Amino acid sequence: MGSEAVAAAYRRVVLKLSGEAFCGRKGDRNLDPEILGSIARQLKEAQELGVQMAVVIGGGNIYRGRLGSGKGIDQATGDYMGMLATVINGLALQWALEKEGLATRLMSAIEMPRVAEPMIRRRAINHLEKGRMVIMAAGTGNPYFTTDSAAALRASEIGAEALLKGTKVDGVYTSDPRKNPAARRYERVSYREALQKQLGIMDAAAFSLCMENDIPIIVFNFFREGEILRVLRGEPVGTVVSAES
């Protein structure tokens, strides 16, 4: 049965991907065309379910503002450098998606009309409704905010029904499962519990936006084959963070 024959549980979502997701083996910060191609194929399958999808991109594989602040670069400048790094990743993802035949739009919170459209809420929604995949780069356009906060902001702006956080682990655990074999994976956890237990899913600003707008966060292993399709179909995958545990 093709993926298009199965109903999706969501009409519109935001997918948050870190910059490290685009790299090869551990420690290699270079963009890997094969991994980009694999990501693009998964997103194409997801779009075939009929879900409107916006992708918020991180830039940590190229530059992190907080790392620069430890080397004498003030945080605001470092954060702007990090935002520009997300645009590089956005261009790379756009290239990979268009190789798969998808219609895309790259939108940036920092205006640079030669490479990306400005991030305008109504325009982003219009692109999604026309079946285009929207890549959202440059964070919120402001320093001192993480790309997690940007993802929560964009999800709130466009009326997303869920914020998907694609990682390399299959959910949120009571402790690091690589160090503690007895670590337990949460199937569901509330926003407040996640903050109280400092589970490190997203920062407080991102949680606050999702709480206020009742947007569930789903943490899952994006790199497990078919996992994003299972998430979009509403199957019990990963960890769901919502108002109630």
CATH code for the domain defined by 3-242: 3.40.1160.10
The rounded mean pLDDT for the chain is 90
User: Residue 127, Cβ neighbours under 10 Å: how many?
Assistant: 20
Instruction: Please give the structure tokens belonging to residue 61.
Output: 């594989």
Extents of the domains making up the chain: 3-242
- Give, to the nearest 10 degrees, the angle between helix 204-212 and helix 147-158: 10
Q: Which residues pair with residue 137 across a beta bridge?
A: 108
For residue range 112-137, what is the model confidence (pLDDT) as tens digits? 999 999 999 999 999 999 999 999 99
Length of the chain: 245
pTM passes above 0.85: yes
Instruction: Please give the structure tokens belonging to residue 217.
Output: 């966060």
For residue range 150-206, what is the model confidence (pLDDT) as tens digits? 999 999 999 999 999 998 888 999 888 878 888 899 999 998 888 888 888 888 899
